[in-house]
Amino acid sequence: MIKSELKDLKRLMEFPKEGIFSKVLVKTETSNYTLMCLAKGTDISEHTSTREAAVTVLKGKGIFVLGGKKIRMSPGVFIFMPAGAPHSLSADKDSNLAILLSLMGKEK
């Protein structure tokens, strides 16, 4: 049985001077929720996932590229991606970026 979890995302955010801080909040057989904090100017190069995913922007600004389409990231933006969708993201040069990454479905 999965137990309930309560997390204060604002308190868990940690922004490194460079690179990425990530913290798995909850992981089950069919889902994974990870807080990711990117330092100003940090990029994550294009990649894919074998699972459906959603990104919710919590803090900061950046650019998310999904299937070649640029999406402006700011707090409150929600992005859903089917499995296998090529995507990348980058934090603005003057803004730390925090996102909640949600992966759904069993790992393949």
Are the CB atoms for 103 and 32 separated by under 8 Å? yes
Residue 3's pLDDT is 84
Neighbours of 33 (CB within 10 A): 19
Residue 107's pLDDT is 77
Residue 1's pLDDT is 64
pTM of the prediction?
Answer: 0.93
What parts of the chain have a pLDDT lower than 70? 1
Start-to-end Cα distance in the chain? 22
Q: What domains are there in the chain, each with its CATH number?
A: 30-104 (2.60.120.10)
